[in-house]
Amino acid sequence: MNLGPHTLRNNVFVAPMAGVTDRPFRQLCKALGAGYAVSEMAASDPRLWSTPKSVRRLDHRGEMEPRAVQIAGADPATMALAARYNVERGAQVIDVNMGCPAKKVCNAWAGSALMADEPLALAIVEAVVAAVEVPVTVKMRTGPAPGRLNAPALARRFESAGAAMITVHGRTRACGYRGEAEYDTIAEVKAAVRVPVVANGDIDSPQKAAQVLARTGADAVMIGRAAQGRPWLFREIVHFLATGETLAAPTDDEIHRLLAAHLADHYAFYGEFTGVRTARKHVGWYLAGRAQWRAAAGAFNAIDTPRGQLAAIDDFFGALRGRGSGTGQPDGAANDTDYAGRQAA
């Protein structure tokens, strides 16, 4: 499918998730089949652009194109300024955040709170579209609350304002992440506009992706929380949509290699101090549900060096293969040399 001048590899996308979809994670998901990924949301307030967190969120070096940056804010002029700032630094698509339900975002009347103020929401999209020459997309929810599902009406207005694609999460702002996503409103959005529509929410398997596409008529699906610790989900969905066949689950050896490589890239991106701390959640997602991990998690989370974490991961998978507490490192797993090389690069 096309997004402005960009031809996307497929219609299975990575959702923007704060604290998750950093450059290493986006790159891994793309390498495993995702056709498109959107960055963590970047603040529109210029006073925050030079903070370490913002600098990392705007780092797209070496990333597979197109490079999409999501911006969040509640002032049209500031959002326009943020869009230009990001395009000047390599963004090829700007996504406007009207989907985040987090209190700290909504309390500032940004994110999904904007859907309750339709004139302001429209003014922001108009300002951003006028400010940049790259495609502008919008990610939103079905409405402010179950009794006010205004996504179809807003989608029509965003399309008229120049939005190139619209993503809809099948919950309202008031719902947060509670309950089940509903897809009828997404179908109404698809019927209301001509630009591509992306369905998001509770898509956690190849079969569910196919069902949601059929039910909504959407052009693509966007995967969020289900991909945490399961980046291979993208290739599984792409394969199933293309063939109707289910790929075999990854082996423990492959998961070991993917996790070790992800961690090495993660440490190189964040540095050792921040990297080991932010890596813990990713490791927990990869290994969640394993009885062996429940016993090992506490000790792992006390490790404070990259090499220590990598060694513990090697030991964990070595034990799964019945090798006791030895290194158990398969071919292709990251080791001290791999990490040092990535760090130097």
Query: Of 225, 243, 261, at which residue does a domain stop?
Result: 243
pLDDT at residue number 50? 74
User: Could you give the C-alpha distances from 241 to 80, 149, 207, in angstroms and in order?
Assistant: 37, 29, 9
Same domain, 29 and 170: yes
Q: Where does the chain show beta strands of DSSP type E?
A: 2-3, 6-7, 12-14, 36-43, 68-72, 93-98, 136-141, 165-169, 197-200, 220-223
Kindly tell me if the per-residue pLDDT of 102 is higher than 80.
Answer: no
Kindly tell me if the per-residue pLDDT of 342 is higher than 60.
Answer: no
Query: Of 243, 272, 302, at which residue does a domain stop?
Result: 243
Same domain, 227 and 113: yes
Same domain, 221 and 94: yes
DSSP sequence for 49-103: TTSHHHHHHT--TTPPSS-EEEEE-S-HHHHHHHHHHHHHTT-SEEEEEE----H
Q: Residue 36: how many CB atoms within 10 A of its CB?
A: 26
Identity of the residue numbered 113: A
From 119, 103, 178, select the one nearest 153 (Cα to Cα): 119
Percent of the chain predicted with pLDDT > 90: 77
Same domain, 317 and 192: no
pTM value is 0.89
Task: Write down the mean pLDDT value for the chain.
Answer: 89
The CA distance from 36 to 93, in Å, is 11
**pLDDT tens digits, residue range 280-339?**
999 999 999 899 999 999 999 999 999 999 999 999 999 998 854 333 333 344 444 344
Q: How many folded domains does the chain comprise?
A: 2
- Higher pLDDT, residue 289 or 120: 120
Q: Is residue 175 flagged as an active site residue? A: no
With vertex at residue 68, the alpha carbon angle to CA 65 and CA 73, rounded to the nearest 5 degrees, is 170
| Mean pLDDT (whole number) for 166-187 | 94
pLDDT at residue number 230? 97
pLDDT at residue number 110? 67
The CA distance from 20 to 48, in Å, is 19
Same domain, 198 and 272: no
| SS3 state of residue 341 | helix
**pLDDT tens digits, residue range 229-244?**
999 999 999 999 999 9
Q: Which domain holds residue 91?
A: 2-243
Kindly tell me if the per-residue pLDDT of 175 is higher than 60.
Answer: yes
Q: Which of 29, 100, 106, 175 is catalytic?
A: 100
DSSP bridge pairs for 145? 148
pLDDT at residue number 52? 78
Same domain, 235 and 257: no
pLDDT at residue number 332? 40
Which CATH number does the domain housing residue 225 bear?
A: 3.20.20.70
Query: Of 243, 261, 295, at which residue does a domain stop?
Result: 243
**pLDDT band at 14, cuts 50/70/90?**
very high
| SS3 state of residue 221 | strand
**pLDDT tens digits, residue range 193-214?**
999 999 999 999 999 999 999 9
Kindly tell me if the per-residue pLDDT of 109 is higher than 60.
Answer: no
